[in-house]
C-alpha cells in the first residue's frame, strides 16, 4: 500500500475484498462497464493484470484502475471514480500509482484508449504527460465515439 497522498491511499486489490465496491463504481461510471466476472478474471491473472483501488481517508473505495503489464508496456484498461468523489484528486493518485508500478515492474511506456468526447479524462491524462498516438474511428458504442490512443514514456 502506498502512503496517503492528497488524502488518498492507493493499493493493489489482490482478493475479492472490496470487489462489490469496484463493480458499483464501474456501473455508475460506464454504460457498458465491466461486470463482476470480468474483474474476477483480472484478479485470477496477477502476473499480467493489476487492479488498483483508491481509498479515501475513511478507507472506502473511491475508484479503481485496471492495467495490464505486457512485455515492457503498461496498458491502462479502465479507470473510474465514484461520481460523488470526482474532481478531488483520486484519479490523479491512481494514475501516478499505476505509472509508478508499471515503471517498477519494467515497463518503459504506458498506453490507453479514451473517448474523444471525454474531456475530463483527456485533461487528466494530458496532465500526466500522455499524448495522442492515434485514433480508432467509431471504436466506442452507446454512444458512438472515436477512441484516442494515448501514450507516454515512463
8-39 pLDDT, tens digit per residue, is 999 999 778 899 999 999 999 988 888 999 99
Tell me whether residue 64 is one of the annotated catalytic residues. Answer: no
pLDDT over 70 for what percent of the chain?
96
pLDDT at 4 over 80: no
Q: Kindly report the CA angle at 96 between 45 and 151, in degrees rounded to 5?
A: 80
Tell me whether residue 44 is one of the annotated catalytic residues. Answer: no
Contact assessment for residue 85 and residue 29, using Cβ atoms and an 8 Å cutoff: no
Which candidate in 42, 64, 125, 140 is catalytic?
A: 125
Average pLDDT over residues 77-81: 96
Quick one: pLDDT band at residue 107, thresholds 50, 70, 90?
very high
Q: CATH assignment of 9-153?
A: 3.40.630.30
DSSP, collapsed to helix, strand or coil, labels residue 45 as coil
In the DSSP assignment, the letter for residue 94 is H
Quick one: pLDDT band at residue 58, thresholds 50, 70, 90?
confident
Which candidate in 11, 113, 139, 140 is catalytic?
A: 113
Q: What is the pTM of this model?
A: 0.91
Amino acid at each position: 500500500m502506498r502512503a496517503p497522498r492528497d488524502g488518498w491511499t492507493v493499493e493493489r486489490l489482490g482478493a475479492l475484498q472490496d470487489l462489490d465496491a469496484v463493480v458499483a463504481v464501474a456501473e455508475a461510471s460506464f454504460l457498458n462497464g465491466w461486470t463482476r466476472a470480468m474483474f474476477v478474471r483480472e484478479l485470477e491473472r496477477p502476473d499480467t493484470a493489476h487492479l488498483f483501488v483508491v481509498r479515501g481517508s475513511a478507507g472506502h473505495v473511491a475508484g479503481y484502475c485496471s492495467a495490464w503489464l505486457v512485455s515492457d508496456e503498461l496498458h491502462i484498461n479502465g479507470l473510474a471514480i465514484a461520481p460523488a468523489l470526482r474532481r478531488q484528486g483520486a484519479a490523479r493518485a491512481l494514475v501516478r500509482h499505476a505509472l509508478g508500478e508499471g515503471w517498477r515492474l519494467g515497463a518503459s511506456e504506458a498506453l490507453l484508449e479514451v473517448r474523444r468526447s471525454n474531456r475530463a479524462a483527456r485533461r487528466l491524462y494530458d496532465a500526466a504527460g500522455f499524448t495522442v498516438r492515434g485514433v480508432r474511428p467509431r471504436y466506442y458504442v452507446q454512444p458512438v465515439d472515436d477512441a484516442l490512443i494515448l501514450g507516454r514514456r515512463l
